[in-house]
Structure 1
Amino acid sequence: MDTWVAETLPLWHPEAPAWSRVVGVFDLETTGIDVTTDRIVTAHVGLLGTGGVIHRTGDWLADPGVEIPEGATAVHGITTAHAREHGRPAADVVAEVVQALEQLFDAGIPVVAYNAPYDFSLLKYEALRHGVTPIADPSPVIDPLVMDKAFDRYRRGKRTLEVVAAHYAVALDGAHDASADAIAAGRVAQAIAARFPVPPTAHELHTRQIGWARAQAASLTEYFISVGRLDPDDTVDGSWPIR
């Protein structure tokens, strides 16, 4: 596939945090929510500039090689028949998505993924399944879900991408489309960076998010135990950005 990193990147606005001026974006739509066993159906990797301007997009439709459950189809709209007829072999899609992400990371461009451990973990297991070398330690990653919880901890309500995008006045047309979700997540990350005192570098922010995610999981564990959703010996996995 073509190289993902342009020779000339968009002009940077001097008042924006350095990492927010050019960001990669990444999202998957899948056959289910188990990162170890479910499969990729659609994927998007893109590049946004200052103000959320789209500079590069890449979209993939895979034939996952398994039936797509009706529940998953109800979310993203892709049926088994459509994926088999129009999708490309899963191994090819996985290899190309990994390559696109690696090119962004190699260029020092942070990649935004909403609820990053889901997408990066599922991609890891898909890579292992298809004999592709996985991205074992993706960095720097920007996760607007972790950031929003850290900077606006006590805001009530859900933290789905649709809700959070609306809160930051980011348009999200066609939720659960990999392209729409990825682009909206990137713009939410940029909006958070414009509103709150975020770390100035992507690598510093990446490190801070590891701690934030761990603390958020511990807090959620306490809550779930208190309402009976978890046994006292169970915990919510706070590993970030990959499990």
Structure 2
Amino acid sequence: MNELAFTSWTESTWVGFDTETTGVNPNEDLLVTASLVLLAEGVKGDLSQVETANWLADPGVEIPEVAAQVHGISTEQARAEGRPLGEVCGEVAERIVDLWRSGAILVGFNLAYDIRILEHSLEVCGLTSLEERAGGYGPMVDPLVWDRKLEPYRRGRRNLETLCGVYEVSLDDRFHQADVDALATLGVLAAMVALYPSVRTLGREELTDYTAAAHQAWAEQFNRYLASQGRDANVEEYWP
């Protein structure tokens, strides 16, 4: 890997971002946990040497049992150990803004979901959005979106656990915990950067637009397929 030519963004600080929530609808559900995992030197960084920040929020609503079974946080635990949702979301948003200003790259698996969860939670709490705080979103990468673009004909599922296998990322198997998923996502991105020269040539300012365009192309194609099958073609084409 050290023999490959990298550009500045690939060796910048990468920040894995993941959330666990009250449900799967980012326009209705709320944040329960959030993690930011900082990997210095990006693709050349050491995944065993990361800085992790974790938050637990009391969302102020019941956490459905089906959600609690996924991430392990019950309503009772969130109320007893979590901090008010507004405090947590405000801190997470400010930390992300600070990291963008320092030159970091935000990385997440299905990142648009986590961004929207954060934005919705901020809105519910009457707080300024992440986008407004930052004066526009900073550089972001979603390895799921990139994998769809770079390997469009690979069969099978594309969840995080599957892609860890595809890209030979050996990490903790406790998936659906925000810090574990964020770290695994960083490992997948590092493997992709080493494997695909096309993404290594991107400039920092191109990352978000590249990811958004890749998602839109995939979503448009998938919606056409759904329509051809007589199914609802309702996949969101905008990213994030």
- Please report the TM-score for the alignment, with normalisation by the length of structure 1: 0.88
Task: Write the deviation string for residues 126-154 of structure 1: whole angstroms up to 9, x where unpaired.
Answer: 11111221112322001001111111111
CA deviations on 1:212-235 (whole Å, 9 max, x unpaired) are 1110001110121222321xxx44
1:200 CA drift (Å): 3.2
The AA in structure 2 aligned to 1:39 is L
Contact 1:124 1:134 in 2 (8 A): yes
| d(CA) in 2 for partners of 1:78, 1:155 | 34
Mapped to 1, the partners of 2:222 and 2:141 lie a distance apart of 21
Paired with 2:9 and 2:190, the residues of 1 have a C-alpha distance of 9
What does 1:100-179 align with in structure 2 at a 5 Å threshold? 100-136=95-131, 137-170=136-169, 171-179=171-179
Aligned to 1:8: none
Distance 1:145 1:172 in 2: 19
Counting only pairs closer than 5 Å after superposition, residues 62-101 of structure 1 correspond to structure 2 as: 62-101=57-96
Shift of 1:23: 0.5
Q: Unaligned stretches of 5+ in structure 1?
A: 1-11
Partner deviation per Cα, 1:52-96 (whole Å, 9 max, x = no partner) = 434321000111110000110111011111111111111111011
8 Å Cα contact 2:22-2:32 kept in structure 1: yes
Inter-partner Cα distance in structure 2 for 1:144 and 1:224 = 23
- Specify whether residues 223 and 55 from structure 1 end up closer, same or farther in structure 2 by C-alpha distance, changes over 3 A only: same
Residue 130 of structure 2 aligns to a residue whose secondary structure is coil
CA distance in 2, matches of 1:34, 1:52: 34
What percentage of aligned pairs have identical amino acids?
A: 38
Matches of 2:4 and 2:125, distance apart in 1:
43
CA distance in 1, matches of 2:226, 2:140: 27
Counterpart check, 1:15 vs 2:5: yes
Q: Which 10-residue stretch deviates more, 139-148 or 202-211?
A: 202-211
Contact 1:48 1:55 in 2 (8 A): yes
Q: Which residue of 1 aligns with 2:32?
A: 41
> Counterpart in 2 of 1:3?
none
Letter in 1 for 2:15: G
Please say if residues 29 and 41 of structure 1, whose CA atoms lie closer than 8 Å, have aligned partners that are also in contact. Answer: yes
Residue 18 of structure 1: how far off its partner (Å)? 2.6
Contact 2:4 2:194 in 1 (8 A): no
**C-alpha distance in 1, partners of 2:187/2:222?**
26
Report how many aligned residue pairs link the two structures.
227
CA deviation vs aligned residue, 1:23-57 (integer Å, no higher than 9, x gap): 11100000001112211111001211224434321
> C-alpha separation between the residues in 1 aligned to 2:196 and 2:206?
15
2:15 to 16, 24, 35: 24
Is the aligned partner of 1:222 residue 2:224?
Answer: yes
Q: Is the 8 A contact 1:117 1:239 kept in 2?
A: no
> Whole-Å Cα distance in 2 between the matches of residues 203 and 184 of structure 1?
24
Shift of 1:172: 4.2
Aligned match of 1:7: none
**TM-score, structure 2 normalization:** 0.89
Provide Cα deviations, 1:188-221, integer angstroms capped at 9, x if missing partner.
Answer: 1111111002133232232211211110001110
Q: Is the contact between residue 9 and residue 203 of structure 2 (CA under 8 Å) also seen in structure 1?
A: yes
CA-atom RMSD in angstroms:
1.7
